[in-house]
Structure 1
């Protein structure tokens, strides 16, 4: 079994981003990720995108290259690049979680974003465990 490459990044959403834009991002991502055997999670909260991409490293980096060219986000910072033995979101070509909907702003989500936005290397080691916890505690993903 081939190792799974995990890449986590955070970026700022363009100021004029709409939910139609986010829907379009998800639709295209799901279609393209299916072809590349990529799975993951996209969270939108407070003007930021947090995304986990997982799959073959070459395919994940190819997707990241496309994201870097997308003007619907900017100031992208890669937080984690790691090999693992299993996917966190194996059934989702791109799960989505809207963290701006008030009931969705759980303590797990707030802690996850705090760790990602903090920028400190010591907090980065917490991100993957927090994503696992978030997956376990999150209400229905879309």
Structure 2
């Protein structure tokens, strides 16, 4: 089985952000178990960043649903492709917020160039991995 991943950033609806987070988590955890996907979602200041991984065909299907979801706007795919092994094997969908772990502070402290797409994606990936360590 070929494993793939996608890492994206999107803007949420500010007036409904907290409720959207809760709703997304419930549906993502159920759906990800069904499709054998795993990953991690971080929500902060109206921004979502998510790493999603699993079988390529299932991942493409679910990513298509995310791209069409009105709770996500201005979606930017930061990284996508095959992976040798799962990064978040224990999580149907892990979750953190800026209250418990501020992503933007982490990026600044690590001196990550957010204008360099590869460095930005790598920094977000490390940040998410540290949430589950």
- TM-score, normalisation: structure 2: 0.83
**1:80-129 Cα deviation digits (max 9, x unpaired):** 11211111110111100112x1x5226874359x859x3434425634xx
1:109 touches 1:134 (CA, 8 Å); kept in 2? no
Q: How many residues align?
A: 132
CA root-mean-square deviation: 2.7
Structure 2 unaligned runs (5+)? none
Structure 1 unaligned runs (5+)? none
Q: Secondary structure at the match of 1:51?
A: strand
Confirm whether residue 123 of structure 1 aligns to residue 122 of structure 2: no
- TM-score, normalisation: structure 1: 0.78
Distance in 2 of aligned mates of 1:63 and 1:44 = 19
Runs of 4+ off more than 4 Å: none
